[in-house]
Copies of this chain bind each other. A is one copy, B any other.
Amino acid sequence: MNDYDDYVKHSRKITDVKMSMSVLSWDQETKMPKNGSKFRAQQLSTLAEISHELSTNKKYGDLLNILNSNENLTNDQKRNVYLSLKAFNKAAKYNSEFIIEESKLISNAFQKWRLAKDNNNFSIFEDSLKKLVDLRIKECEILGYDEHPYDALLNQYEPGLTTAQVENIFSDVKEFLVPFINKISKSNKIDDSFFYKKYSHDKQWDFGIELLKKMEYDFNSGRQDLSAHPFSTHFSPDDTRVTTRIDEDNLSEMIWSCIHEGGHALYEQGVLPENYGLPLGETISLGIHESQSRLWENNVGRSIEYWNCNYDSLKSIFPNQLSDVSVNDFYKAANSVKPSLIRTNADELTYHLHVLIRFEIEKELIEGKISVKDLPSIWNHKYKEYLNITVPSDSLGVLQDIHWSHGSFGYFPTYTIGSFYAAQFFNQAKVENPNLLNNIKDGNNKNLLKWLREKIHENGKRYDAHVLCEQVTGEKLDFRFFRQYVIEKYSNLYSI
């Protein structure tokens, strides 16, 4: 046994504990009887404590520092050690008081948020949210940053991403998307009313499974279940699960949540099992993760080629509901753009304005420029400004998302960045596989998956997100790929 082996062993031990937490969380969201929540929270908190102890173990830190200056390691080994040391140094910045305070605040804030949302009363949540914002401001100082305190929070989810970069991205968004969406709003509406007919639960379920299988999601290394909010999770590359939600009055919800979560899961199933428990066995960042889900959901799953392949099957399952709907009608409805109140139901264009609003608010909260008590009016003002929508109630406005009650600040921008990565990756995939759209039309998704596996999945954390992007596409993340994708698709759809 040498030092590197010792490191691998300890790193895998940490991962085993974290993956165990994921099993408990998955069970909590999908199977746990309702009375189980109290002790489950305690069990999860104990595992989190153990994970933190292992992650900040002094001997482990010493070992990482020794290995980090060992020139005899391979490049992959060096990369593992470098990233593990970085994670160690970060974990070591938190003392246990912070961890305990955070855990209490979040647990309390989550309850208050639910109550506030149920009662359409922001003031119930206000105090908890203020405390969480203050905690995150403190955390920015604990973690440190070069330019902007919010950088420290962005880095939790997208290593290396800065506030300045996000501002640049959103200035492109504003400049292009806001007028483009305006144009769409003034053109002819697309009819998507057939989505809201009655679609039986069991038949929807079966169709979702069929879509996952066609995506090459491996049910020997995963499974699908129902949950209140769709998510994907993984316990190893060999056990990566998805969930969905089925609304009998809305067919679209199940379809694109299945494809979206399937895209996340394909990424986790594509990481190499031999790297389990090491950075090279982990996905890069939330932005890259979201690029995989969005690529499948939007670039593939809302394309005419995809529905040329899958629509007959859907129509045979729901012949009455879809009797008057051609594949082209279906494709159009799948891409209908309509400014709306709720982010999670938004189309793939207005979606980014929802994210923009949250980013602007979070940034100013962390800067101390705005205060929590003013959030409802700020929120409503921005929805009017960017989406031309009047927010009728805080439950449907500032209280709609769970994230802040979980203390997650700096998370939302990864959704938008993921979409832009997706457009850039998908463009490259088409360049390198000229038959790609035909493959999709033929129901053959193997080539696309093979390309994603080789270019992205199998690397784990071998490269930082921006390096990977350059490796895969020859250039840095650039908004023009998304713009080009949007113009091509929607100009045609809306005759603009």
Contact = CB atoms under 8 A, between A and B. Distances in A.
A17 B13 CA distance: 14
Interface in A12-46: 12-13, 16-17, 19-20, 23-24, 27, 31-36, 38-40, 42-43, 46
A220 interface: yes
B31 A43 contact: no
A16 B46 contact: yes
A272 to B, nearest CB: 13
Contact of A221 (B19, B23, B35): B35
A238 B39 CA distance: 8
A59 to B, nearest CB: 14
A17 B239 CA distance: 21
A235 B36 contact: yes
Nearest to A219: B33
Contacts of A42: 12, 16
Contacts of A276: 39
A47 interface: yes
A17 B49 CA distance: 11
A208 interface: no
Contacts of A46: 12-13, 16-17, 20
A310 interface: no
A164 interface: no
A223 interface: yes
A50 interface: yes
B19 A239 contact: no
A222 interface: yes
B20 A20 contact: yes
A162 interface: no
A236 interface: yes
A19 B35 contact: no
A274 to B, nearest CB: 11
Of listed A13, A17, A239, residue having the most chain B CB within 10 A: A239
Contacts of A236: 36, 38-40
25 contacts: A12-B46, A13-B46, A16-B46, A17-B47, A19-B43, A20-B43, A20-B47, A23-B43, A27-B27, A31-B223, A33-B219, A33-B220, A33-B221, A33-B238, A33-B239, A33-B241, A35-B218, A35-B220, A35-B238, A35-B239, A36-B221, A38-B236, A39-B235, A39-B273, A40-B235
Interface of A: 12-13, 16-17, 19-20, 23-24, 27, 31-36, 38-40, 42-43, 46-47, 49-50, 218-223, 235-236, 238-239, 241, 273, 276
Given A32-B239, A39-B235, 10 more contacts: A13-B49, A17-B46, A31-B223, A33-B220, A35-B218, A36-B238, A38-B236, A39-B238, A39-B239, A39-B276
The 5 closest A-B pairs by CB, nearest first: A36-B239, A39-B236, A16-B46, A35-B238, A35-B221
